[in-house]
Amino acid sequence: VQVRFSQARHHFLVMPRESIANLKALDSRHLDLLRHMQSRGEELAAKTSKTLQFRLGYHAIPSMR
């Protein structure tokens, strides 16, 4: 998993190294990967602030390929 930081003060992207074409391509084989990505996001949020609340989610944009 690669961790990338945007220009925003607290905006993190946790991206898989595995190429996944789109959300419809996800299946049960990807559960461990998704859990790992969620865990890494939570770790980054906890390291960043003890008082701020972060929202974690997934999004897919075709240009991110």
Q: Exposed (0-12), middle (13-18) or buried (19+): which is 41, by Cβ within 10 Å?
A: buried
Contact between 34 and 23 under an 8 Å Cβ cutoff? The reply is no
pLDDT at position 43 = 93
Domain hosting 54: range is 2-64
- Our count of domains for the chain comes to 1
- C-alpha to C-alpha distance for 45 and 65, rounded to whole angstroms: 25
| Residue 64: φ, ψ to 5° | -80, 0
Which tokens go with 31?
């559960």
Instruction: Give this prediction's pTM.
Output: 0.70
pLDDT at position 54 = 84
pLDDT at position 3 = 58
pLDDT at position 52 = 82
